[in-house]
Chains A and B, each alone.
Chain A
Amino acid sequence: MAGNFLTTRFEAMLAWGRKFSLFHYPYVTACCGMEYMSAACAHFDIDRFGAGWTRFSPRQSDLLLVVGTIAQKLAPVLKTVYDQMTEPKWVIAFGACTVSGGIYDNYAVVQGIDRVIPVDIYIPGCPPRPETVLDGLLKLQEKIKTQGQDWRWKKKTS
């Protein structure tokens, strides 16, 4: 009984640490990048929520921010970047194009990045306002807080 109690406390602490130290990898391909910049910089400042540190290496980041239209040509690159990230990792689909392909229902555009990689949070909008981005980030933190703190690959294999 005492052991169980201790484990729960440890998980809560781990969740708290993880949700406030999201290193994000900005996968910015299109105009949503403007809103990403404004969300990331001093005005709206995602650093207030511990997600301010931009890492330009997938191996050092745990939050993949997919910002902008993903073309069919680019889909394998996105998949590679996601695969290179170390566990635990989360993905935010930022903007209408990443959520559903947006207005581009044509030969060139992937109709939502969840066709290629798993997505945790969808932020709608074309482009989403920075407040929406912050809301999405808070929802992701809520998810991290409440989800199990083991790693996804463990879940899959066990």
Chain B
Amino acid sequence: MEKEDILTALRTSFPEDVLETSTPLGDAAAVVKPEALAGIMAFLKAEPQAFTMLLDLTCVDHPDRLDRFEMVYHVFALEGARRLRVKASLPAAEPVIGSLAGLWKNAVWLEREAFDMFGVRFEGHPDLRRLFMYDGFEGHPLRKDYPLRGRQPRLPMRPDP
């Protein structure tokens, strides 16, 4: 299955939900509606697409956009070493998207990281807690509006000079 075939299959199976497909720099990429993401990813994981591996799941903050948070998913098919990138934009006010924890086990920690750093909530996640930052940390440090040196020490500390 070649890149174009996968994108065509996506478009024909989800004509309403796939907003855009392209092959930038030779990689297949698709932009989809966030509410349809979980279904699309299940479709991609199933035969004959067989994207059995979730390589990465992350978020990008575009503060100038109305749909500020862009979720980026990279999936990989071991058969044929094919890759596909799927994106979905989430609104700034309420960034919520379906969880992939039921499809891929590694999505559990990846989604916890995205929640920790960007405050994106994943519906259906079994255990949505912070992954890196500690209890009591306020805000989401990789959001562009988080202060650059917004440190929240856990101990009394000599302040910055």
Least CB distance from B149 to A in Å reads 6
Size category of the A interface is 10 to 19
Contact A107 B157 (CB under 8 A): no
Least CB distance from A49 to B in Å reads 31
For A75, give the chain B residue with the smallest CB separation.
B155
Contact with B along A94-130 (1 / 0, CB 8 A): 0000000000011110110011100000000000000
Q: 10 other contacts beyond A79-B155, A107-B152, with CB at 8 A cut-off?
A: A72-B134, A72-B151, A75-B153, A75-B155, A76-B154, A105-B148, A106-B149, A107-B146, A107-B147, A116-B157
Instruction: Assess whether A73 is interfacial by the CB under 8 Å rule.
Output: yes
Given contacts A106-B148, A107-B146, A108-B141, contact A73 B133 (CB under 8 A): yes
Q: Which 9 A-B pairs have the closest CB atoms?
A: A107-B141, A115-B157, A115-B158, A73-B134, A107-B150, A76-B154, A75-B155, A76-B155, A107-B151
For B158, give the chain A residue with the smallest CB separation.
A115
Given contacts A72-B152, A72-B153, A107-B146, contact A114 B158 (CB under 8 A): yes
**B residues in contact with A107, CB < 8 Å:** 141, 146-152
**B residues in contact with A111, CB < 8 Å:** 151, 160
Least CB distance from A47 to B in Å reads 34
Which residues A50-84 have CB closer than 8 A to chain B?
A: 72-73, 75-76, 79
Contact A116 B155 (CB under 8 A): yes
Which residues B121-157 have CB closer than 8 A to chain A?
A: 132-134, 141, 146-155, 157
**A residues in contact with B149, CB < 8 Å:** 105-107
**B residues in contact with A73, CB < 8 Å:** 132-134, 154
Contact B134 A110 (CB under 8 A): no
In angstroms, Cα B153 to Cα A80, docked, is 15
Contact B133 A110 (CB under 8 A): no
For A105, give the chain B residue with the smallest CB separation.
B149
In angstroms, Cα B156 to Cα A79, docked, is 11
For B160, give the chain A residue with the smallest CB separation.
A111
**B residues in contact with A115, CB < 8 Å:** 157-158
In angstroms, Cα B160 to Cα A115, docked, is 9
Least CB distance from B124 to A in Å reads 28
Contact with A along B99-119 (1 / 0, CB 8 A): 000000000000000000000
In angstroms, Cα B41 to Cα A59, docked, is 53
In angstroms, Cα B153 to Cα A39, docked, is 32
Least CB distance from A99 to B in Å reads 14
Contact B148 A72 (CB under 8 A): no
In angstroms, Cα B151 to Cα A111, docked, is 10
Least CB distance from A77 to B in Å reads 10
Least CB distance from A83 to B in Å reads 11
